[in-house]
Structures are given as C-alpha cells and as structure tokens.
Amino acid sequence: MVNIGIIGAGRIGKVHLESISYHVKNAAVKAVADPFMNEDTRAFLERVGVEKIYTDYKQILADPEINAVLVCSSTDTHAAISVEAIEAGKHVFCEKPVDHSISKIEAVAAALESHPGLKFQVGFNRRFDHNFAAVRKAYDDGRIGDAHILKITSRDPEPPNPAYIKVSGGIFLDMTIHDFDMACFLTNSDVEEVYVNAAVLVDPAIGEQGDVDTAIITMKMANGALAVIDNSRRAVYGYDQRAELFGSKGMVATSNDTLSSAVVSDANGITGEKPLFFFLERYMDSFAEEMRQFVDACENDTDVPVGIHAGLQSVKIALAAKKSLQEHRPVKLSEIQ
C-alpha cells in the first residue's frame, strides 16, 4: 500500500484525490495540504476520508507514513517542492509543467540523481487516454511502419480569463505543452526543430496580455518524422482532441469522444453528438490510469511511464515555440539552454 500526500487542493488536486480514492486499490490519500484551505474544501476532504488536513505542505514531507507526494500546487512552486520532497525521501508525482525554467527542472533532475531509488512522474495524462494509447500501440506494433507525418488537433471549447495568461506562461506553456508531449509520445521521438505561425483571432484581450490564441506549429522530429499541431482557444462545438499518424505502411487516426455514438437521420439532415465539453469530461479515465501506473511504479520499483526527461523536453519545445513566434524563424531545440 502506498500512502500519499497531496500538495495543493485546487481542481487538479481534487481530480487526483478522487481518482485514487475510487480507482486505485493499492494506494490511499492520507494527507492534503493547501495554504488556501477553506471550510468547503476541508468538508470535501473529510467526506472522502482524508485523515490529515494541513495548510503547510512541509507537514506532509515530515510525515514518515507518507511514501509519495503529488505536487498539484501553482506552477511556480512545482520544482522547489519537488526537490524538497525528493530530499525528504518521497516519491513524487508532479503536475505539468515541472517549471518554466530549464535550470529549475535540471535541479529536480540533479536531486533525483542523488536519490536513485525514488520515482518521479510528470502529469502528462493524455498519454494514458485510450485513443492516443491506441495510436502509440499501432505504431509500436509496426502496423504504421516508419513515422512520416503526425497531425495533432487540440482546440479548447472556450478561452481562459485573460488574467490567467499572466501566470500561465502563455498558450505554449499551459495548453500546447500537452500537444508537444503528445508529439514525442506518438512518434516515440524527441523534437529537433520548431516553427510557429500564430495570431489573435479569438479574444483581443489575450493579445493585450502579449499572447496568441490560435497557432499552427510544425516540427521536425529526431527520427525524421514531420509533425503539425493546430491549436485554438475556442471551438464552439466542444473540446476537439484528435490525432493522425501516417507512416510507410499505413495510417492510424482517432476521433473525438462523444456522449454517445448515436447518429440521427431525418428530413432535416444527419446529426450526431458534439465532442465532450472539456478536459475533465474527456480525460477523467486517463487521470485514473496515470495514478494507477505511478502507484505501481512506487510499489513495485519499476520505471515510471513519464519521467523527468519528458518534463524537460516539453518545456524546451514550448520555449523554442515562443522564440520562433517572436523571431519569425525555425528554432532548433539545441538553442534552448
């Protein structure tokens, strides 16, 4: 049994708490800490059986009964808390991104090298989605042959509050970062070069924050494949999440998940369901699966499925994308130090 402490009781912290409580048999959440703990959150935690509720996360790190921690706090605290947790002898699951700073992510990697028995997993939950996992399996099984072209469509149903842009790092670090990781995952390759075209087409207030809301990113992968990502902050028909991998022997593609596969044909036309609304509806099962695999790695001393290398690569790609947009040119990842 893996005893877990969760640091951060916001939306994603609660998602992981519910995933573990209801879907992971060999783990238990023993403690939750959040500096902004309120009565509603405390009541929720008590209802799901959390025994220890703190405002100071250091109490979790000092607890000898806790084997692993989930870092679900604000992004600017991820790296520092991860290092503290590693030095306290805890396994760590860290939400993405590990940090916006390459040097801070490298500090986490250095801490891990000093504690080789500890596990560190990054929260790229889309790798555990049934659709994208099937694409990767088809590729691993050799059914697609050599990867030639990857297309990823990722469009949110509605834009965030422009104030969020100030703290999120912008579209490439808070939204597209998932797609950058998907590109690496689906082609089983790192990225070598990035080129971006982007615009403000959804909300002028996002542009006023110095960001964009619509983007097309092209990438050269280390294994020779070419990848294209298209992003939008607003798809009026719902959460649009699709991928297609084309190769020397064939092609594999995924469609959006919908509430049902029912299609109505009548005198007015042929209609079906819209995609599920947003990431909680679309990816809830993947959150549970990533927790199961993290706990299994901790309990059985096996490799985690998404390690610090993936966390570092995704941020390097995001920073290269920002540089490409600013300088209107292709940017090699080797330029990002």
Helix (H) or strand (E) holding 265: strand 263-266
Q: Which residues contact 188 (CB under 8 A, 6 or more apart)?
A: 136, 139, 140, 147, 223
Q: What is the pLDDT of residue 223?
A: 98
Confidence of residue 337 (pLDDT cuts 50, 70, 90): confident
Query: pLDDT digits over 288-329, tens only?
Result: 999 999 999 999 999 999 999 999 999 999 999 999 999 999
How far is Cα 215 from Cα 208, in angstroms, rounded to an integer? 17
Q: What is the pLDDT of residue 92?
A: 98
Mean pLDDT of the chain: 96
Percentage above 70 pLDDT, the chain = 100
Confidence of residue 170 (pLDDT cuts 50, 70, 90): very high
Query: pLDDT digits over 88-140, tens only?
Result: 999 999 999 999 999 999 999 999 999 999 999 999 999 999 999 999 999 99
DSSP, collapsed to helix, strand or coil, labels residue 220 as: strand
* Residue 276 pLDDT greater than 90, yes or no: no
* Residue 279 pLDDT greater than 90, yes or no: no
How far is CA 209 from each of CA 61, 95, 161, 296, rounded to the nearest angstrom? 37, 24, 11, 42
Query: pLDDT digits over 64-89, tens only?
Result: 999 999 999 999 999 999 999 999 99
Query: pLDDT digits over 217-256, tens only?
Result: 999 999 999 999 999 999 999 999 999 999 999 999 999 9
Q: CB atoms < 10 A from the CB of 178, how many?
A: 22
Would strands 27-33 and 2-7 be described as parallel, antiparallel, or unpaired?
parallel
Query: For residues 27 and 48, is the Cβ–Cβ distance under 8 A?
Result: no
* Residue 278 pLDDT greater than 80, yes or no: no
Taking residues 262-287, what's their average pLDDT?
Answer: 89
How far is CA 181 from each of CA 49, 63, 123, 125, 306, rounded to the nearest angstrom? 34, 33, 11, 10, 10
Q: What is the pLDDT of residue 166?
A: 82
Q: What is the pLDDT of residue 54?
A: 97
Of how many residues is the chain composed? 337
Rounded to 5 degrees, φ, ψ at 107 are: -65, -35
Q: What is the pLDDT of residue 281?
A: 81
Q: Which two tokens stand for residue 180?
A: 């950058």
* Residue 261 pLDDT greater than 90, yes or no: no
- Hey, what domains does the chain have and what are their CATH numbers? 2-118 (3.40.50.720), 127-282+314-335 (3.30.360.10)
Give pTM, 2 decimals: 0.94
Please give the full DSSP string across 31-84, using - where no structure is assigned.
EEE-TT--HHHHHHHHHTT--EEES-THHHHT-TT--EEEE-S-HHHHHHHHHH
Q: What is the pLDDT of residue 282?
A: 81
Q: What is the pLDDT of residue 211?
A: 97
